[in-house]
Structure 1
Amino acid sequence: MCALSSARVRDGALYTGKWDANALQSPSSEELFEAAKEAIPHDATLSQNFDYARAYALMAICCIQYGDTPRMNYYIGLYQGFISVGGLQDESNWPGVLNHVDLEERRRLFWSMYTLDIFSSIIFGGFARSREACFNVCYPSDDETQSGDTNSRTTGDMHDGPSWLTGWNFVTTLYRILEHAQDRLGQLRNPVQRTPSLPGYIEPGSPRQISCLTNIMALYEQLPPVFKTTQPLTGRLDKDLFGFQAANIAASLQLVRMVLFTTENSTVDQKCQIASEVINGFASVPVAYLRAISSPLLHHLAGIGSIMGSVFENGLTETSYRRVRSVLLDLANLLANLEVDLFCRQGTSDKLRAQVSRIDEFMKIQRSVDASGPVVGLTPWVHQQSHALASPGLHAHHQLDLPQDSPQIHFPPELFTDWEYAFDFN
């Protein structure tokens, strides 16, 4: 916990001014992390000491903050091993002497790590170790009179409104849906399928886009209004918890839509629309919430790269490219704001603008050649645009003078060799 807190302080994740960030810099997060690692025995999973399960979870989250995906996967794996050894995916295997508070803590940890497993498999391209169909664990109780939660509301407010856990549990439901959508996403990410298929034996498990979104929005409409708008921060945790849940719900809803649109045969306009909604949604959230969300926000935004990268695969008209270009520059503008107010590394937005400039230069040259003679190689283009790339910002905001109707333009793969680098926001 100390290592994670230190890393988040260093990255500007404090959402109030009550703490002195400079006083929290020593010892470093890495030093605290190493101390925690040394304190955990090598056979901790066999001991079934619940504190070790919590430690694995916190260390996995800390690795996300570091941008260290391999180590994140390592600690998620250790946590999953702990669960597997004890059969803890079923509450009936939990210790029978747990009081209500201990029971609620285990439920919160269990579902938190489930959502992290699904999130990481989608954002970082791995595989989910969790299968919700195998679980027999209740959601955390949203009855705060029984949960022992001292951070939620004061006694006088206890019965005046919903619990923040109502929103938290809704997000868990979204991730259970995402788990099944992710099955199809994994197939699309691997164009060369080496694993033999099982036609006729297994029904496709990925939920259909339209029916799935309809059901999700029906559940969303049932939520209390406090979870549908992000109110300004007050500095009171019992109030701000609801704002954090509203921000998390909005982000998770957009992630569901991103995955569903990626796994279906969506049009360029549909993909641009969902990407724009994700960007605009985050842009409308008070910066203090974004600061507190910290590194996971950047990974979420990086997911837009997967959507927008796929639109170039089958070619675009100039009109379609104008729409794609607008989305990419909107994302660059959001990142530029995060560079000032948050933890986003300086120059992150410039990488994305440079990628847009490269495509802009290709489009200019493509329009200048005979329509019957498409650009086959990149050598002339690279030569002509080398000076332009020296100052990518010069071309980031100009408007392209494009005709509304144009033939399909196919983009050479060399144009996207730096695509993943442009969307590496760590």
Structure 2
Amino acid sequence: MPPQAIVMDLTEIYFEVVYPVFPYFHRPTLLRRVSRGEYATSRPLFASVLAMCALSSARVRDGALYTGKWDAASLQSPSSEELFRAAKEAIPHDAPLSQDFDYMRAYALLAIASIQYGDTPRMNYYIGLYQSFIAVGMLQNESNWPSGIGHVEVEERRRLFWSMYTLDVFSSIIWGGFARSREACFNVCYPAECDDEYFSDANPINTGNMHNAPSWVKGWNFVTDLYRILEHAVDRLGHLRNPVQRTPSVLGYIDQGSPRQTSVLTKIMNLYEQLPPVFKTTQPLTGRLERDLFGFQAANIAASLQLVRMVLFTTENSTVDQKCQIASEVINGFASVPVAYLRAISSPLLHHLAGIGSIMGSAFENGLTESSYRRVRSVLLDLANLLANLEVDLYCPAGTSDKLRAQVSRIDEFMKIQRSVDANSAVAGLTPWTHQASHELTSPGLHTQQRLAISEDSPQIHFPAELFENWSWAFDFN
């Protein structure tokens, strides 16, 4: 049993740096239960509270704190891994059969903590265990939820359900797995757009305690909308990632009338424009949760919008220029977010950026002209520079940016050889690259008209598959 003071501190930190994106607890209820030490006498609550503490502790270690009121060194004993192990061992092996909500919530928190550790297989393991709860209780339909649960638990269940849905879709995009969830099969309401302080079991949500000012939950629900759209794009993304199709096709029996990406994006942006202005600008963190919650939503919305655009353009066989344009907007968007948010979002942010790099890798599949390669190369080096900055501000394995630059260097070497072969063969129309100084790998600066003024009519250069065997390794944060 960790000291009560440590548990209380890590609980408050959870609400500062984790809750804005993963709001699995009703704040007044959890603070009251932890302050009373109720987790010491309830095994399910103990599991979920210690899983939450393990995640908070990992975020503290990874530099997520943005207020000066915490002594990070005093919060490292017990370690995050010790808290994780205590939570894991408190959960019975047949927990899904018990259908206890706190065990299910603990699995979700352990999955996110595994992302923080850079342990993708363990993340998938705990997402799978969480999904077993859904399967056993058929919890994808609210009518199957336990009768008699209070208003607070209903809202917590809705937040957990949709949050884990977005994590499922996110993981299928970033790590190339598959989404276990299908939104068309769900019958679960979105969380009510009401702040935690304004409802309880004794005071249910109604029009009387809904305020005229928007709740941060409105922005959070908008992100869920985006991931529901992403889910359908992921199906097409899977086919693009697997050029050798071993599963027999049944596409001839399925209606393929899915909307074009331009139509989807237009509708998404129309929804975005209807959001209150507070969700469109990331204000500096203040240390006041009621205000910072909106900044977190704005940052998450911006990142999710760009992820939708990247995936949609990729699945629609977009041009290299389109991919580069969107990737540049994503990178510049992250670079403009106050660094405190980036620290607080922590490891999931790095994997989000890794997803951009992986998607950009698809630009090489059908060959590139020299001018196209320059654009892709510029984006990749901009991404490497951003990652280099984050390696300083976030606790993550050093050298991630160096690995990406090394990949670019390998491709550069191939291009150099290819250019020499083409010159010897007297291929007409090729414009040789100017001499590249070594400093370009640290300061790309390839956005000027002079560098991009290369003939678009130059022949397609096709890259050998072995050149990209280590592409995923370059984005491995484990």
Q: CA deviation at 1:207?
A: 4.3
Structure 2 residue runs of 5 or longer lacking an equivalent are 1-51, 202-208, 428-435
1:54 matches 2:105: yes
Query: Which of these residues, 347, 352, 355, is aligned with residue 300 of structure 1?
Result: 352
Change (3 A) 1:229 1:394: closer
**Other structure's SS at 2:230 match:** helix
Residue correspondence of structure 1 range 199-238 to structure 2 within 5 A: 199-204=251-256, 207-238=259-290
Show the 5 A alignment for 1:149-298: 159=211, 161-204=213-256, 207-298=259-350
State the one-letter code of the partner of 1:324.
V
Deviation (angstroms), 1:67:
1.1
* Compared CA separation, residues 39 and 369, structure 1 to 2 (3 A): same
Q: 1: CA distance between counterparts of 2:419 and 2:298?
A: 46
The aligned counterpart of 1:381 is none
- Between 1:187-196 and 1:258-267, the stretch displaced more is 187-196
Q: Give the CA deviation at 1:2.
A: 1.2
d(CA) in 2 for partners of 1:229 and 1:66?
A: 30
Shift of 1:368: 3.1
The AA in structure 2 aligned to 1:17 is: G
Within the alignment, does 1:139 sit opposite 2:190 as a pair?
Answer: yes
Runs of 5+ unmatched residues, structure 1: 150-156, 376-387
TM-score by length of 2: 0.80
Q: Percent identity?
A: 82
Are 2:371 and 1:319 aligned? yes
Are the counterparts in 1 of residues 310 and 327 from structure 2 also a CA contact under 8 Å? yes
Match of 2:140 among 74, 89, 93: 89
Aligned length: 405
1:313 maps to a residue whose letter is: E
Aligned equivalent of 1:380: none
Find 2:401's aligned residue among 339, 343, 349: 349
Tell me how far apart the structure 1 counterparts of residues 445 and 65 of structure 2 sit (CA, whole Å): 38
Query: 1: distance between equivalents of 2:166 and 2:116?
Result: 16
Distance in 2 separating the partners of 1:117 and 1:210: 25
Relative distance call for 1:273 and 1:232 in structure 2 (3 A) is same
Q: Shift in Å at residue 127 of structure 1? A: 0.9
Would you say the 8 A contact 1:357–1:392 is kept in 2? no
> What is the correspondence of 1:313-392 to structure 2 with a 5 Å cutoff?
313-371=365-423, 373=425
| DSSP-derived class of the 1:200 partner | helix
Distance 1:71 1:278 in 2: 28
Shift of 1:329: 1.0
> Aligned partners of 2:211, 2:175: CA distance in 1, in Å?
41
Is contact 2:382–2:444 with CA below 8 Å preserved after alignment?
A: no
Compared CA separation, residues 194 and 398, structure 1 to 2 (3 A): closer
**Residues 35-71 of structure 1, C-alpha deviations (whole Å, 9 max, x = no match):** 1111000111111111111011101111111111111
Contact 1:366–1:374 (Cα < 8 Å) also in 2: no
Query: How far is the alpha carbon of 1:319 from its aligned partner?
Result: 1.1
Quote how far apart the aligned CAs of 1:87 are: 1.4
Give the root-mean-square deviation of aligned CA atoms: 2.3
Q: Distance in 2 between matches of 1:193 and 1:97?
A: 49
Following superposition, the deviation at residue 369 of structure 1 comes to 3.5
Given that 2:381 and 2:441 are in contact with CA atoms closer than 8 Å, whether structure 1 keeps it comes out as no
Match of 1:39 in 2: 90
Tell me which amino acid in the other structure corresponds to 1:410: H
Residues 26 and 269 from structure 1, CA distance in 2 versus in 1: closer, same or farther, beyond 3 angstroms? same
Q: How far off its partner does 1:146 sit?
A: 5.2
One-letter code aligned to 1:140: P
Q: Which residue of 2 aligns with 1:123?
A: 174
The equivalent position to 2:149 in structure 1, one of 98, 111, 131, is: 98
**1:385 maps to what in 2?**
none
Alpha-carbon separation, structure 1, partners of 2:72 and 2:361: 38
Change (3 A) 1:230 1:399: closer
Cα distance change, pair 402–167 in 1 and its aligned pair in 2 (3 A): closer
- The verdict on how the C-alpha distance between 1:40 and 1:205 changes in structure 2, with shifts beyond 3 A counting, is farther
User: Judging changes above 3 Å, is the alpha-carbon distance between structure 1 residues 374 and 420 closer, same or farther for their aligned structure 2 residues?
Assistant: farther
Q: 1:112 to 1:309 in 2, by over 3 A?
A: same
Determine the structure 1 residue equivalent to 2:467.
Answer: 415
Contact kept? 2:381, 2:444, Cα under 8 Å? no
1:20 aligns with one of 71, 74, 83: 71
AA partner of residue 294 (structure 1): S
Paired residue for 2:454? 404
Deviations 1:242-272 (A, max 9, x none): 0000000001111111111111110010010
CA distance in 1: counterparts of 2:412 and 2:443, whole angstroms = 11
Deviation at 1:99, TM superposition (A): 2.0
Query: 1:6 and 2:50 equivalent?
Result: no
The one-character-per-residue Cα deviations of 1:366-422 (angstroms, maximum 9, x if unpaired) are: 3333447499xxxxxxxxxxxx9xx97674446787861132222233332322222
What's the CA shift string for 1:212-269, capped at 9, x where partnerless?
A: 1011011101100000010011110110000000000001111111111111110010
**Alpha-carbon distance, 1:173 to partner:** 0.7
Q: Partners in 1 of 2:77 and 2:190 — Cα distance?
A: 38
